[in-house]
Chains A and B, each alone.
Chain A
């Protein structure tokens, strides 16, 4: 039982990290209807920029600020070069365009900063908290706990931003109905830039956390792939869904790896979330919190 709990909590904490990636997807999908495959590359790009500047001797906070500026520039670039020419195209075309964008971002990031693995230290080590280990005999990582704290803070900040600020309300209006938002004078183009910037900010936070854990390296881009089943479980339009979906995926994949993995040779983490999401889709095609899909001819 104790072992089960330990695996469960470890999985939930890892799930928080998935939720962070999924969050970036949801933000962009809500506001622009674009399924942004490049979110993983943005995570990689942001983390690499911070580490790159930090290794040049720039103080950490300045490196973060510079990375934020780079993400903002990327948002402008994306809106101008990818989104604007593709307005009114089918969603699937935009999705494929973001696959192209992800290659563009990955290539640029490696061209500027090189392809080596960089270490990133946020000052909290990835080691078990001692008093829980003593009291309950479970090993729960300090770092994971801090990551979930940061994730919670991020979601809170986003919630305030979306509900209390003028821009945030405009974002929600666009997410609800593009045409109605245009009619009351919201500039779609401006909103798109802002939402891609916010997604860039989320990508930066995600990149720092994942980078501190696994090293800043190319495999960060595969996070986008991990986030897909999370989104399917949670629904594309729901922030709450991204969080819950992430927790479910994190917990279930760890539990499956520990309890089912040994029977089939292990390593099932790579595909288990997909199959889980797939089975879920057959029952509820719009995800846990997604809007009901209605087809009209």
Chain B
């Protein structure tokens, strides 16, 4: 009833192939984008809002990391969800992006920062390509181990060679200020808008990639690689492109992670834990789904915060101090339990739950 596409006829192939074929989806998407681009910034600069909601906290602690992790999850989803190559090295590719952007800004005079982000993505793609080479010979866990090699090697190299961090004694890099055409992105709102714009464009590109020839080739490789090769899909091109494009996304996400989120980063910020966190995002959100990357990132970013709020609320209500480490351990347990739960009960993740909800809305109030 709420979600009926009755009466929406497609009379051309182009109309049939469009990204959001159902009008309700288009309207909802437009509303969402309007809310994100206009509504949220407007709300945060409304006079008198500071006392009610701490927008700086929301931007720096929740929304910006959510968008950046979504981008990284999108990158991993291209590789693992669409092309079926499990990677445990996401953090490494993000690190390459972050440190490449830093060095480009540092060493190339008058480097425009957006170009630095793009080039950082390209450099990450090149590194991804190198570590993707073994995928031509091996697959499954073996490949996962190859990507682990990338994870450890990159973090080691960034720590060991001072050149990457401009010989800072602790290996920490201080990301340069974001200035585009003389306009400084120095407040949380401005940084949020920049990140949002980049993520929106790249998500659109990913959605388009997934329905292109290369996207279909990836899915064929994922579903049965030998069969895909037999029907004439160039295996080498498909796999290496998946690694390169995925690493490009992760590289840009890493650059944003350093420049728009943390400001000061060390190589250890991109350790195996980060890679796992992003893997969890796509498992929980939905493997092989653009929407799922966003849902999963939102879930993983928000869950620890909610647990923290619940713990402090409990402390206040019961008057008992919650032991230190309890919340972080509970988060660990909850993450683990959720991974097992989603893999067993809903392997397609939150994105699939959204699909089911849409089906239900369409039929409501009838059961069939």
Contacts and interface: CB of A to CB of B under 8 A. Distances in A.
Q: Which residue, A229, A271, A281, has most C-beta atoms of chain B within 10 A?
A: A271
Interface in A218-254: 225, 228-229, 232, 236
Interface stretch (A49-57, A94-102, A136-144, A157-165): A94-102
B212 to A, nearest CB: 25
Interface in A34-82: 35, 81-82
A99 B279 contact: yes
Contacts of A104: 332-333, 336-337, 340
B144 A271 contact: no
Interface in B49-66: none
B32 interface: no
B314 interface: no
30 contacts: A85-B344, A85-B345, A89-B347, A92-B86, A92-B141, A96-B86, A96-B283, A97-B344, A99-B339, A100-B336, A100-B337, A101-B336, A106-B332, A107-B331, A107-B332, A108-B333, A110-B325, A110-B329, A110-B332, A111-B326, A114-B325, A115-B325, A228-B145, A229-B145, A265-B161, A266-B160, A267-B160, A268-B156, A281-B142, A296-B226
Nearest to B162: A265
B335 interface: yes
Contacts of B227: 297
Contacts of A111: 326, 329-330, 333
A281 B134 contact: yes
A40 B280 CA distance: 19
B226 A103 contact: no
Interface in A171-222: none
A35 B142 CA distance: 11
Contact of B336 (A103, A265, A275, A277): A103
A276 to B, nearest CB: 9
A278 B149 contact: yes
Interface in A263-289: 264-268, 270-271, 274-275, 277-278, 281-282, 285
A35 B88 CA distance: 15
Given A100-B343, A104-B340, A110-B325, A282 B152 contact: no
A86 interface: yes
B-side interface size class = 35 or more
Interface of A: 35, 81-82, 85-86, 89, 91-93, 95-97, 99-108, 110-111, 114-115, 225, 228-229, 232, 236, 264-268, 270-271, 274-275, 277-278, 281-282, 285, 295-297
Classify the secondary structure of B's interface with A: helix
B160 A86 contact: no
Q: Which 4 A-B pairs have the closest CB atoms?
A: A100-B339, A104-B336, A107-B332, A103-B336
Contacts of A285: 137-138, 142
Contacts of B338: 100
Nearest to A229: B145
Contacts of A277: 145, 149
Given A111-B326, A115-B329, A297-B230, 5 more contacts: A89-B347, A100-B336, A107-B329, A107-B334, A110-B325
Contacts of A108: 329, 333
A274 B153 contact: yes
B181 interface: no
A97 B86 contact: no
A103 B152 contact: no
B148 A228 contact: yes
A103 B339 CA distance: 9
Interface in B176-222: none
Nearest to A111: B329
A99 B272 CA distance: 12
Contacts of B153: 271, 274-275
B343 A89 contact: yes
Q: Which residue, A105, A270, A278, has most C-beta atoms of chain B within 10 A?
A: A278
B113 interface: no
A97 B152 contact: no
A267 B141 CA distance: 25
A85 B347 CA distance: 11
A81 B156 contact: no
B347 to A, nearest CB: 7
B248 to A, nearest CB: 23
B156 A270 contact: yes
Interface string B134-164: 1001101110111011001100100111000
B224 interface: yes
A81 B337 CA distance: 10
Interface in B271-288: 272, 276, 279-280, 283
A103 B332 contact: yes
Contacts of A270: 152, 156
